[in-house]
Amino acid sequence: MPGMWVSLLKEARKTDMPKVFVGIGSNIDRERSVRAGVTNLCRQYREVQLSSVYESDAVGFEGDAFYNLVAAFETDDGIEQVVACLAHVEDLNGRVRNGERFVARTLDLDLLLYGDEIIATDNYHVPRDEILRYAFVLWPLAEMVPDDIHPEVGESYTVLWEKFDKRNQLLRPIPFKW
């Protein structure tokens, strides 16, 4: 039975490493920046899965439209190491940190999920609250892992996307050639 075979394969591929999901965004030289950010992540984490790329208007400030997507990978790195790696990749790609939250940026890498962990510190909160607030985070997650359950709210990403009010956040899938 093909369904059983797929199920057995999934069981055999499970590891003890957490699956990490990272939101990627750029609105400055966005195609180059997104490509460079993904390349850097692949160098660090090898097998990186990617959602489709979406275009969205800037949120919280007037600015050029963003390219957004979600990347996923498994790692034995601790959460602090992952956060440090993401900041390093941003820095390698010209990220300017001026203290303002809503500004144009070459590359923004946000830790969305670290396995099923629920952790809040001064430096990060996982699962990241933007998952439930922004279409450009939730839609790619629903695309990648439709049946996975959000660790805090207990609903699948598909259900969360179906319930999401899409009227105020226009999101356009774009053809992106890797």
What's the Rg (C-alpha) of the chain? 16
Q: What is the pLDDT of residues 108-118, one digit of tens each?
A: 999 999 999 99
Residue 101's pLDDT band, with cuts at 50, 70 and 90, is low
Q: Are 174 and 53 in contact (CB under 8 A)?
A: yes
Average pLDDT (121-127) is 91
Number of domain units in the chain:
1
Residue 142 lies in a domain: yes
146 within some domain? yes
| 143 within a domain of the structure (yes/no) | yes
Write out pLDDT tens, residues 69-90. 999 999 999 999 999 999 999 9
pLDDT of residue 105: 78
Domain with 25 in it: what CATH number? Answer: 3.30.70.560
pLDDT value for 124: 87
- The answer as to whether 4 is a domain residue is no
Instruction: Encode pLDDT of 51-70 as tens digits.
Output: 999 999 887 767 889 999 99
Position 7 scores a pLDDT of 38
The pLDDT-based confidence of 168 (bands split at 50, 70, 90) is: confident
The Cα 164–Cα 23 span in angstroms is 18
| Residue 63, domain member (yes or no) | yes
Q: What is the pLDDT of residue 144?
A: 97
Q: In this structure, which long-range contacts are made by residues 57-65, counting pairs with CB atoms below 8 Å and at least 24 apart in sequence? A: 57/169, 57/170, 58/27, 58/102, 58/104, 59/102, 59/134, 59/169, 60/101, 60/102, 61/102, 61/103, 61/104, 63/27, 63/103, 63/104, 64/27, 64/28, 64/30, 64/104, 65/27
Residue 29: is its pLDDT beyond 60? yes
5 lies in a domain? no
How far apart, in whole angstroms, are the C-alpha atoms of residue 16 and residue 42? Answer: 20
Whole-number Å distance between alpha carbons of 69 and 82: 18
Say what the pTM is. Answer: 0.87
Instruction: Of 91, 116, 162, give the one whose Cα is nearest residue 21.
Output: 116
- Per-residue confidence band for 2, with pLDDT thresholds at 50, 70 and 90: very low
Domain membership flag for residue 10:
no
What pLDDT score does 137 carry? 97
| Domain membership of residue 34 as a residue range | 16-170
The residue whose two tokens read 């997104």 is: 34
Domain membership of residue 94 (yes or no) is: yes
